[in-house]
Structure 1
Amino acid sequence: MKYYIELLKKFNDFQGNASRREFVHFILFHCGIIAVLLFLGFAIEHPFAHKVINTVSGLFVVGTSLSCVALFVRRMNALGRNPKLLFVALIPVLGWLYLLFICLKKV
């Protein structure tokens, strides 16, 4: 939780480095929050509550996207790779898997 809040505060820092531990903690916690929000969206049958949960989850994803991009750039800097490699993520599925594979490597 400490890494997650700390990295959300660094949403505009594209120059530093991010350790593997920070990266893994952030990704696991972020995916956990998204999974809980998606589960609530599927589990709730009340129409108004369903719309509220979907809106909150959408705002959460949009609101944290800049922090995620900044984290990936800092991790690429720590690995000594060019941050322009993030454009690989535009390839639908294989791009994200390749990018995660690169970022999870030890330095």
Structure 2
Amino acid sequence: MHYYTDVLKRYADFDGRARRQEYWMFVLWNIPVVVVLMVIDFALDSYPVITWIYTLAVFLPSLGVSVRRLHDTGKSGWWYLISLIPFIGGIWMIILMATEGNRGANQYGEDPKQVVAA
């Protein structure tokens, strides 16, 4: 749970690097939250207003952790735009997010694995 709240605390922070674990735990916590909100919207027999509000609320934190994850692999945050390419872009983005980060410091900061371990 702390991975989820840590990302929310760094709301619009696009500097630094994020480990794979930080990114994927945030994504995995978002899935059940969205599913529960969709069930609530369905139970209220309304347009998915609650789900859309939540999605908009976590858009910047999601973008921030994605950019920091790309920084960990040595890529610029602008690589996030690759996901806009139909079909291949989403697959490429998943591969980039699952790729192990650079060991040691890179141009975006210190290795988050070493910082946590220290």
Q: TM-score range by the shorter chain?
A: 0.7 to 0.9
Matches within 5 A, 1:1-107: 1-42=1-42, 44=43, 49-51=44-46, 54-107=48-101
Residues 12-61 of structure 1 show CA distances to partners (whole Å, capped at 9, x for unaligned) of 2111110111011001001221122223434x2xxxx2227x21111000
RMSD across aligned C-alpha pairs, in angstroms?
Answer: 1.6
What TM-score comes out, normalization by structure 1 length?
0.84
Query: Residue 109 of structure 2 corresponds to which residue in structure 1?
Result: none
CA 1:99–1:60: 2 relative to 1, 3 Å: same
Q: Work out which structure has the larger RCO, using CA pairs closer than 8 Å and 6 or more positions apart in sequence.
A: 1
Q: Tell me by how many angstroms 1:84 deviates.
A: 1.0
Indicate conservation of the 8 Å contact 2:41/2:49, yes or no: no
Partner Cα distance (1:32, 1:79) in 2: 27
Moved over 3 A (4+): 39-42
Indicate conservation of the 8 Å contact 2:14/2:68, yes or no: yes
What TM-score comes out, normalization by structure 2 length?
0.77
Long gaps (5+) in structure 2? 102-118
Long gaps (5+) in structure 1? none
Matched letter for residue 83 of structure 1: G
Identity of aligned residues (%): 25
CA 1:58–1:73: 2 relative to 1, 3 Å: same
Partner Cα distance (1:36, 1:19) in 2: 27
